[in-house]
Amino acid sequence: MTLILASASPRRTALLNQMGFTHTQMPVDIDESAKSGETPKAMVERLAAEKALTAFGRLGDAQRRDAIILASDTLIAFEGESLGKPADEEDCIAMLQRLSGQVHEVLTSISVMDAQRQITQTITTEVHFAPVSEAQCRQYWATGEPADKAGSYAIQGIGGQFVKSVKGSVSAVIGLPLYETRCLLNEFGVDA
C-alpha cells in the first residue's frame, strides 16, 4: 500500500511525517476559483475531493490498486465569504484588516480515496484575531510569509502573533488536522 499526499505543501508533508506516515508527494494543480453561490464549506470540500481525484487520475492501473490518496484544502470563512490567498500587498492588508479584532473560521477538508471509495471530511476551527494595525500588516507582508497563505497569515509562523485564541484544531489551521487525518487513514487500512 502506497500513501500519496496530493500536495506540494511542506507544512502538510511535515505534519504527516510528524505522525509517522511514510508517503510520497504528488503536487496537483486545479482551478481553485469559487463557483457561483458556493458556500465556503462546499468550496473547501470540493477542492479537497478534486485534488484527490486529480492525483488518482494520474496513476497507472497497477498503481491505483495499491494507492491511498490524501488531499487537503484550507480556507478562511469570514462573514459567509471565503478568504483565499492574497493577490497582492493591498489584498493582504485588506484581508488582515477585516480579520483584525474579529473571530473567523478556518475550514480544512481532508479527502482520502482508494480504488473503491472516497471520503471527505471538514474540520472547522474558530480563530480569534487580535487587533492589527495597517503598519503591522505592511511589516508582515514585507516578510513574504502571507503571500501564499489562505486569509493572508500563517498561524505556525510570524502570523501567529496576531492570533489571540483558537477553539478547535491548531493543526487544521496549519493545513492538516492530525487526529482526523489519522482516523481516516486508519479507516483505509493505513497505519503509521
| pLDDT higher than 90, residue 192 | no
User: What is the reported pLDDT for 119?
Assistant: 98
Q: Is residue 192 part of a domain?
A: no
Q: How confident is the model at residue 107 (pLDDT cuts 50, 70, 90)?
A: very high
Give the residue-averaged pLDDT of 161-182.
95
Overall average pLDDT of the 96-104 stretch: 97
Indicate which CATH number applies to the domain containing 160: 3.90.950.10
Query: How large a percentage of the chain has pLDDT more than 70?
Result: 100
pLDDT of residue 76: 93
Query: Does residue 97 surpass a pLDDT of 90?
Result: yes
Decide if 136 is inside a domain.
yes
What's the rounded Cα separation, in Å, for the pair 24 and 2?
8
pLDDT of residue 187: 96
What's the rounded mean pLDDT across residues 171-175?
92
- For residues 137-155, give the mean pLDDT: 95
Between CA 95 and CA 78 the distance in angstroms is 10
Give the pLDDT of residue 84: 84
Q: Give residue-wise pLDDT tens across range 17-27.
A: 999 999 999 99
| pLDDT tens-place string over residues 14-67 | 999 999 999 999 999 999 888 999 999 999 999 999 999 999 999 999 999 999
Q: Is 41 exposed, middle or buried (0-12, 13-18, 19+ CB in 10 A)?
A: middle
Domain count, the chain: 1
- Tell me the mean pLDDT in the region 136-156: 95
Which residues does the annotation mark as catalytic?
73
Residue with cell 508527494: 25
- Domain span at residue 30 reads 2-187
Place of cell 472516497: 118
* pLDDT given at position 132: 97
Instruction: Kindly state the average pLDDT of the residues 120-128.
Output: 97
How far is Cα 92 from Cα 89, in angstroms, rounded to an integer? Answer: 5
